[in-house]
Structure 1
Amino acid sequence: MLSEQFSDLTEKGKAMDDYLRVADELAAEITAGRLRPGDRLPPQREFARRRSIADSTAARVYKELARRGLTVGEVGRGTFVRAAGQVPGPALAEPAGARVDLELNHPVVPEQAGLLAHGIGPLLRPDVLESSMRPVGVAGTPPARELFADLLAHAGWRPDPEQVLFAGNGRQAIAAAMATLAPPGSRLGVEELTYPVLKAIANRLGITLVPLSVDEAGLVPEAIEAAARKAALTAVYLQPTLHNPLSITMPLGRRAEIADVLERLGLHAIEDSVWSFLNDGLPPLAALAPERTVLVDSLSKRLAPGLTVGCAVVPRAISSSMATALRSGGWAPMRFALDAAARWLGDGSVQSVGRAKQRDAAVRQELAARLLGGFSIRGAPHSYYCWWELPSPWRADTFVAAAARRGIAVTPAAAFAVGRYRAPNAVRLGLASPPTEILSRALGALAELAGSAPDDLMAE
């Protein structure tokens, strides 16, 4: 009797070794890239026959791979290798471990993958795919221009589709607008705290950025005039809606004042509206000064940065120069991305994901308001970031380093400051990237950190 029990235990142990061994082999294939994200594994019975193992062992192998976060099962479709970025990892680890990223903002909502997968499916038909693999110019296609004009339309304004040009992403569209309006050696007015990538683009293009004052309503019109009197400005870059990093949305009256200044001084503006889909109740500056404004937008925040398209609504007088800048910079869009975007716009996926992200941003702002309510925090109901004026005696650089020791990355104000403008003692928190439960823990940890003194940290 005892020998039979021992034999049963031996067989069970062998079966366990078998499924773990096979799971380890498949895991190695995935890690090495021989099985790639999106690859479909064979049905379990077929897999069992190929490996000469029992069906029950194959089932345990698939279950183990899913447990490790290497595969995902889809009802009615099968089991697929999961993308590496989807594999769950530890949060708020020690510095040597995983990092909670409150620097970059990559908003993702649960429903977007399903919506986008459904919309992109028809593109994978061989005849359609062949067409989408061909090059496309910066003017895109007529259907894409119409659909993007619809996307950008709000508050009674809709751009002329013939004025829409395309780039690979929003950064490229901004760079092309800068290259069009501000030749090397010229001066471009910008808000004194601005999008950090803009500073890098200006440096590469040989453009001097001139910091312009900002108040509670956004860019101050008189600051543009004062800077232009001091030395010629060639153009102005601004973010009227959900300014990054301050989350300010410029009221209609201020937009009208800016439009008047542009007309009076003969200046063009580059209007960055990448975040405007979260708060689109006001007409853009381009609606008030259509012949003076290049409006730039993209799908990177509305959808995802991995497959995006940038666009610009360009005044007719400079459309040819802008198209030349896009082509010469190598900034034309990819046809596949443009066709995918057109399908997502046509079936309503972009709009649905945008509404979901509005709700998601509101939840995250509520978290920040609750967990950091005792501090000086600036945000907006549908913004994916907030601005934190740090309590004394913390300095921004010291706080960033202390947060990093806790595995949390935040951005110091200096990253946004232009020229010799003295950066305030503040940090920006990007709220979009971590799952909400991890964001909650991270914000709680930062609140605890800010409530201590830097000397307390040094004593740890």
Structure 2
Amino acid sequence: MDTISGRFAQIEKGPKYRALAQAIREAIAAEELAPGDKLPPVRELGWTLQMTPGTVARAYAILTDEGALKGEVGRGTFVAEPAPVDSARDLRWAQHNQPQDTDTVSFFSTKLPDAGQVALIHDAYRRMAENPVGALLNYPSAQAYEPARRAVLRWLSDTALGVVSHDDLVLSHGGQSGVSLVMQAVLKGSRPVVLVEELFYPGFRRAAQLLRAQVVSVPMDSQGVIPEALEEIATKHDAQLFCTSAEVHNPTGIFTPHARRQQIADVAARRGFHILEDDCYRLGASRAASYRALLPEQAWYVSSISKALTPALRIGFAVAPQQHSAALRRVAEYGFFGLAHPLAILTQDLLTRDETYEVMDRVRAELSRYIRAAVNGLGGFELSWSDEIPFLWLQLPEGWRAGAFAQAAEAQGVQVRAAEDFALRSGTPPHAVRIGINAQISMRSFEAAIARLRALLDNPPEQIVV
């Protein structure tokens, strides 16, 4: 029991049942628990770790399903003998998991490594074939999609969303679709005004333009938009919606702390506009309450699995304030009847499996390895980065303009995004670029591309043509 308790204490985040399961896995892997060893009874271990017997039983059940433990009626729970290796599956994973060398490298957007999610998705499709025929013959329905929405709530369990029900949530075709759904539910009139940060995710502008909305930017500082400027501009333009990324600002990586969020929420409450929070780039646990928690009647939340597992499936979700849940559902139903049923089944399958969360941890770890290689290669320059943000924001040294640097980099076989891609045409973006982490290429190719960027930074043009 001391072995399990010690390892459990070292695991800081996540639901207790998952942390306990991981502690036991680690103890088995380190041979601190051997095949045939008996685990403590659930009540005894629960009392020791200050958790309910049900929580311990859930962890044991997960490990029993995985084959790491086995239960014997009347005797207890024991460490199981190692299962035979599925060499074919391991080979498939190894083949997927071998990044290739390349001389042409795109840092235009984040590219995730395969840390086992491809095999999980393949297995999910196979399991889908066992679904009743009716699930693949009928139109989507709210009742049929409830298990998928509950699975998303599990995915969002480390997000401070305030009081939330699966009824407040709509499945979307990725985060961009979620942004569009929220705007359709909120915006009114022939020429509504949408506010964005001085630098912002371009998808906000595209979605607003489809609805004939005017987009106006708000000045920022190192913590996000400036509340006084937000209030002044919102009042001047009678704004209906403010779009923001508070946990991981795209493209700068800025984190908006709780105190600033509260000031922004207070402005929205006074001026009556809604807030749309895009949280697609966060890989770790949330660090502050979401706007939906701070402003429960006016704040909306959008995220997806694109930056943590895969963007290929286009699985996203939008969460409405409770009093606007019906409006969000209506927009989805009127627009496309709902997500395709096979995708809803896949969502439920993936987001309820513990293996998915283990894969996500491996994705984060591999991305972190590439992030640190980029930081090591670009050391000495003004760089914003974090282990849990899959891109870097690079302030260019004197002599470089963002557009010129991006062109020069592309001529060297490396694509990056210039700051002007994230600003309104009338704005004055900084001389900076965003570098998306590409973990689908070999580390050798990655480091070589970073070295080519470093060579450009070390040798800026002699003069800037105005």
SS of residue paired to 1:427: strand
Q: Which residue of the partner structure matches residue 425 of structure 1?
A: 431
Q: Which residue of the partner structure matches residue 150 of structure 1?
A: 154
Q: Aligned partners of 2:107, 2:386: CA distance in 1, in Å?
A: 17
Q: Aligned partners of 1:367, 1:387: CA distance in 2, in Å?
A: 15
1:191–1:238 CA contact under 8 A, matched in 2: yes
Q: Aligned partners of 2:99, 2:440: CA distance in 1, in Å?
A: 11
Q: Which residue of the partner structure matches residue 200 of structure 1?
A: 206
Q: Which residue of the partner structure matches residue 106 of structure 1?
A: 111
Corresponding position: 1:443 with 2:450: yes
Q: Aligned partners of 1:243, 1:133: CA distance in 2, in Å?
A: 41
Q: Which residue of the partner structure matches residue 368 of structure 1?
A: 374
Among candidates 132, 135, 141, match of residue 145 of structure 2:
141
CA shift, 1:89, in A, is 5.8
Tell me the alpha carbon deviations over residues 305-346 of structure 1, each in whole angstroms, 9 at most, x when there is no partner.
111322111123322332232233337311111111111111
Closer, same or farther in 2 for the Cα pair 1:274/1:347, shift >3 Å? same
- Calculate percent identity across the aligned residue pairs: 24
Closer, same or farther in 2 for the Cα pair 1:233/1:78, shift >3 Å? closer
Q: Aligned partners of 1:239, 1:140: CA distance in 2, in Å?
A: 31
SS of residue paired to 2:392: strand
Provide the TM-score with structure 2 as the length reference: 0.74
Q: Which residue of the partner structure matches residue 242 of structure 2?
A: 236
1:116–1:349 CA contact under 8 A, matched in 2: no
Residue pairs, 1:61-460, within 5 angstroms: 75-76=87-88, 90-92=101-103, 99-125=104-130, 127-128=131-132, 131-132=135-136, 134-137=138-141, 141-154=145-158, 157=162, 159-183=164-188, 184-330=190-336, 332-435=338-441, 436-454=443-461
SS of residue paired to 1:271: strand
Closer, same or farther in 2 for the Cα pair 1:77/1:425, shift >3 Å? closer
Tell me the alpha carbon deviations over residues 361-407 of structure 1, each in whole angstroms, 9 at most, x when there is no partner.
32232222211112111122311111111112111111111111111
Provide the TM-score with structure 1 as the length reference: 0.75
**Which amino acid letter does the alignment assign opposite residue 219 of structure 1?**
V
1:140–1:165 CA contact under 8 A, matched in 2: no
1:240–1:273 CA contact under 8 A, matched in 2: yes
**Which amino acid letter does the alignment assign opposite residue 104 of structure 1?**
S
1:140–1:338 CA contact under 8 A, matched in 2: no
**Which amino acid letter does the alignment assign opposite residue 136 of structure 1?**
P
**Which amino acid letter does the alignment assign opposite residue 453 of structure 1?**
P
| Consecutive unaligned residues in structure 2, runs of 5 or more | 1-85
SS of residue paired to 1:249: coil
CA RMSD of superposed structures (Å): 2.7
**Which amino acid letter does the alignment assign opposite residue 163 of structure 1?**
D
| Consecutive unaligned residues in structure 1, runs of 5 or more | 1-73, 93-98
Closer, same or farther in 2 for the Cα pair 1:137/1:420, shift >3 Å? farther
2:99–2:439 CA contact under 8 A, matched in 1: no
1:211–1:419 CA contact under 8 A, matched in 2: no
Q: Aligned partners of 2:446, 2:330: CA distance in 1, in Å?
A: 43
Residue pairs, 1:32-51, within 5 angstroms: none
Closer, same or farther in 2 for the Cα pair 1:77/1:263, shift >3 Å? closer
**Which amino acid letter does the alignment assign opposite residue 162 of structure 1?**
D
Q: Based on CA coordinates, which of the two structures has the bigger radius of gyration?
A: 1
Closer, same or farther in 2 for the Cα pair 1:353/1:283, shift >3 Å? farther
